[in-house]
């Protein structure tokens, strides 16, 4: 190996075994650049992979975000619909209550009217009783008339009196008949009126207020109660559904906010990339110095150039751009870290 011999010769005066030491140092340094290249490739690989991963995370976050927004929109729409249904249900339930209440009061009113008519029809018995009395009296008179007629013979005065009484009874009988007839006509008309026209009910609600319960009104009240109970149940379900929709909406909103925050945290990749790029730059310095040493050991680089280009830890510190890099550097070298008092956000 002529090169090795030449190199050995150049150090012969400086060490006990200079040819061997110089050659060994050069041999040891020779693979360093390639070694650095491999490390360089690995670090670049890490930068590339974290970059791809960060982009994938952002895309996924955006997908989640858009899904959350869609969900929030859907739930908002559902909440709107439920709210509308709840309002409508309340309105319809109120209308139903009023309708049933009106029906109940109407039936109470009509029942009372019919009761009055029934009472009045009972009054017809008086007329019937009177006719019966008239009938009995007529019979007696008729009997007397027969007796008087027999006795009278030619004398008809008594008979005339009887005849007059009979006439009066007939008159009373006619009046009673008229009374019954007119009462029946009146009652029939009013009954028709009660059954066909409820305009009096609208004018006379106070009567209905005081009217007594009947089987019909009790049934109607029971229906109204069941209907009210059902409305309240549906209303409770709607209210709970609305609350659930509201909670989902709030959760979606929080999720959207969290995904935005997570997307913001992906800046770590850019920061890590820059930190790794600084490591790469430092590694390049090590590689260069290794090349220089090999060149020096081979006599291809003067000592002053080697010293001039020698890596310096202070230079490395000067290249740091982040406060964290400076802190790490100080912690590693045992120096006092410079306080980074500049604000993170500053408007000029």
Q: How far is the CB of 324 from other proteins (least distance, A)?
A: 9
Rounded-to-integer distance, Cα 245 and Cα 334, Å:
58
Measured at the CA of 286, the angle between CA 24 and CA 19, to 5 degrees, comes to: 15
The CB-of-250 to other proteins minimum distance in angstroms stands at 18
CB of 249 to other proteins, least distance (A): 17
Closer residue to other proteins (CB): 26 or 54: 54
| Closer to other proteins by Cβ: residue 58 or 241 | 58
C-alpha span between 293 and 306 (Å, rounded)? 7
Residue 225 structure tokens: 């109660």
56, 68, 65, 53: which is closest to 259 by C-alpha? 65
Q: Which of 203, 205, 197, 191 is nearest to 105 (CA)?
A: 205
The residue among 191 and 266 lying less far from other proteins, judged by its C-beta, is 266
Q: Are 50 and 272 in contact (CB under 8 A)?
A: yes
Nearer to other proteins, 266 or 283 (CB): 266
Longest dimension (CA), the chain: 203
Is 25 or 266 the residue whose CB approaches other proteins more closely?
266
Nearer to other proteins, 102 or 273 (CB): 273
Tell me the torsion sign for CA atoms 67, 70, 71, 72.
positive
- The footprint of other proteins (CB under 8 A) covers 51, 54-55, 58-59, 61-62, 65, 260-261, 263-271, 273-274, 321-323, 340, 342, 344-348
Cβ proximity to other proteins: between 217 and 259 the closer is: 259
Nearest-approach distance from CB 311 to other proteins, in angstroms: 22
Task: Report the Cα 78 to chain-centroid distance in Å.
Answer: 7
Q: How far is the CB of 257 from other proteins (least distance, A)?
A: 9
SS3 30: coil
Beta carbon of residue 322, minimum distance to other proteins (angstroms, whole number): 5
Residue with tokens 């850019």: 270
8 Å CB contact between 326 and 338 = yes
Q: How far is the CB of 247 from other proteins (least distance, A)?
A: 23
């Amino acid at each position: 190996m002529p090169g090795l011999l030449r190199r050995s010769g150049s150090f012969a005066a400086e060490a006990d075994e200079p040819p061997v030491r110089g050659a060994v140092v050069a041999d040891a340094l020779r693979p360093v650049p390639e070694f650095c290249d491999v490390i360089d490739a690995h670090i670049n690989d890490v930068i590339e992979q974290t970059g791809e991963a960060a982009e994938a995370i952002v895309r996924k976050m955006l997908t989640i975000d858009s899904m959350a927004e869609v969900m929030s929109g859907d739930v908002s729409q559902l909440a709107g619909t439920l709210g509308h249904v709840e309002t409508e249900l309340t309105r319809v339930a109120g209308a139903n209550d009023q309708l049933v209440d009106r029906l109940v009061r109407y039936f109470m009113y009509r029942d009372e009217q019919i009761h009055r008519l029934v009472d009045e029809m009972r009054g017809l018995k008086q007329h019937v009783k009177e006719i019966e009395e008239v009938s009995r009296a007529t019979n007696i008179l008729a009997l007397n008339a027969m007796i008087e007629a027999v006795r009278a013979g030619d004398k008809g005065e008594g008979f005339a009196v009887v005849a007059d009484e009979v006439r009066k009874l007939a008159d009373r009988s006619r009046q009673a008949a008229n009374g019954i007839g007119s009462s029946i006509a009146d009652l029939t008309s009013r009954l028709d009126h009660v059954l066909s026209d409820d305009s009096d009910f609208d004018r006379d609600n106070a009567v209905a207020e005081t009217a007594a319960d009947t089987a019909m009104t009790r049934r109607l009240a029971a229906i109204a109660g069941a209907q009210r109970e059902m409305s309240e149940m549906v209303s409770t379900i709607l209210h709970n559904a609305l609350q659930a929709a509201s909670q989902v909406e709030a959760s979606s909103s929080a999720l959207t906010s969290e995904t935005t925050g997570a997307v913001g945290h992906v800046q770590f990749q850019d920061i890590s990339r820059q930190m790794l790029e600084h490591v790469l730059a430092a590694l390049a310095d090590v590689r260069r110095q290794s090349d220089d040493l090999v060149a020096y050991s081979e006599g291809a680089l003067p000592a002053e150039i080697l010293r001039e280009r020698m890596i310096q830890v202070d230079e490395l510190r000067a290249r740091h751009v982040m406060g964290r890099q400076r802190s790490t550097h100080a912690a590693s070298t045992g120096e006092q870290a410079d306080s980074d008092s500049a604000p993170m956000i500053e408007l000029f």
